Amino acid sequence: MSVPRAVLFGCAGPDLAPDERAFFRDADPLGFILFARNVDTPERTRRLSEALREAVGRADAPVLIDQEGGRVARLRPPHWRKAPPGRVLGDLYARDPAAGLEATRLNSRLLAADCLSVGVDVDCLPVLDIAFPETHAVIGDRAYADRPEPVAALGRAAAEGLLAEGVMPVIKHIPGHGRATVDSHEALPRVTAARAELERTDFLPFQLLSDLPWAMTGHLLFDAVDPDAAITVSPKGVREVIRGHIGFDGLLLSDDLSMQALGGSLGDRAEKALAAGCDIALHCNGRAAEMAEIAGRTGPMTAAAWRRFRDGRAALSRARAPAGPQGLAEARRRLASLLPEWG
């Protein structure tokens, strides 16, 4: 079997167009990501996931989604449950830690079931960013809490719930997006905190969950790490902080390369992210010309990246213990008793 290209792509709409199918067949990306523009009915969305996998000829090609709950949810009512944002779970944890952890695990099982209903097997959750007073609203109530320890505990519970139902979690935005005061979709955030302070706070949740299989970078520049490059495209940042201090040896995805935090062409961004040590370049908007440019500047996954991908699949298989329809119904009832406004 040939090794796929070290990229993940989006597509333009709720159905796969013939030219997209041909492009994906030839480009052979590792997998795909769905956004709201791709989501219609459960049946139509599931057909899209199947068509994407058929295009690359791999039934196990990962299909990702951002299904956090709250503002960041691609699967929404009336077809899918309205799930709480991370801060609601964090507030419950602050009142009753055991209840907060239970609710987080149950919620993630239900999120996983929604993902699987449309053929999605990777959920970009949990968010391990800390809520600081200056945290930009792009994170806002997506953050569980304002201290690293509860963030790590709730992130672990969220990941466990996803893994149990057979969905891969992605910890994000490594090594921490909480101190950003601008939206990295629009500009590059610059963080001036000292390295020791970052290690005590921002980096700690990721260090505590460094055994998880997948992570996504944040597009931030840390003066104390590399004053010249955002972490995503910083060899020093990936080597010394993500792989070194944090100790993460799983599959490392860039955040979306089409975000405006990174300069240069899309091809430049992809090439630099992979050269810095990201395993996979992520491009989300489904624009054909941009994807073609990225495909022209990237190659197959490295041996280390492919090993990390396979190791992640094995870890998911070991953790999988699905609740089944009856168990999921009970999970929903129990979650409603813990968070009545979200039942």
Domain spans, the chain: 8-338
| Domain 8-338, architecture per CATH | Alpha-Beta Barrel (3.20)
Q: What does the alpha-carbon distance between residue 287 and residue 256 come to, in Å, rounded to a whole number?
A: 13
Q: What angle do the packed helices 148-165 and 86-95 form, to 10 degrees?
A: 120
Catalytic residue check, 15: no
b/e for 56-95, b at 16 or more Cβ within 10 A? beeeebbbbbbbbbbebbbbeeeebbebbbbbbbbebbee
pLDDT at 183: 84
Which residue out of 26, 185, 211, 223 is catalytically annotated?
Answer: 185
Pair 250, 178: CB distance under 8 Å: no
Q: What does the alpha-carbon distance between residue 339 and residue 343 come to, in Å, rounded to a whole number?
A: 6
pLDDT in tens, the chain (343 residues): 689 999 999 999 999 999 999 999 999 999 999 999 999 999 999 999 999 999 999 999 999 999 999 999 999 999 999 999 999 999 999 999 999 999 999 999 999 999 999 999 999 999 999 999 988 889 999 999 999 999 999 999 999 999 999 999 999 999 999 999 888 888 899 999 999 999 999 999 999 999 999 999 999 999 999 999 999 999 999 999 999 999 999 999 999 999 988 999 999 999 999 999 999 999 999 999 999 999 999 999 999 999 999 999 999 999 999 999 999 999 999 999 999 988 6
pLDDT at 342: 84
Catalytic residue check, 283: no
- The three-class DSSP label of residue 8 is strand
pLDDT at 117: 97
pLDDT at 57: 97
pLDDT at 311: 98
Expressed in angstroms, the distance from the first to the final Cα of the chain is 46
Q: What is the secondary structure of 149-217 as a DSSP string?
A: HHHHHHHHHHHHHHHHHT-EE-EEEET--TT--S-TTTS--EE---HHHHHHTTTHHHHHTTTSSEEEE
Q: What is the token pair recorded at 193? A: 């905190």
Q: What does the alpha-carbon distance between residue 299 and residue 172 come to, in Å, rounded to a whole number?
A: 25
Q: Give the Cβ contact number of residue 140 at 10 Å.
A: 16
For residue 78, cis peptide bond before it (omega within 30 degrees of 0): yes
Q: What is the secondary structure of 80-138 as a DSSP string?
A: S--PPPHHHHHHHHHH-HHHHHHHHHHHHHHHHHHHHTTT--EE---B-----TT--TT
Q: What does the alpha-carbon distance between residue 225 and residue 177 come to, in Å, rounded to a whole number?
A: 14
Residue 230 amino acid letter? A
pLDDT at 1: 61
Which residue out of 129, 141, 255, 279 is catalytically annotated?
Answer: 255
Instruction: Identify which of 238, 316, 240 has the alpha carbon closest to the alpha carbon of residue 279.
Output: 238
Q: What angle do the packed helices 97-116 and 324-338 form, to 10 degrees?
A: 140
Pair 178, 132: CB distance under 8 Å: yes
pLDDT at 260: 86
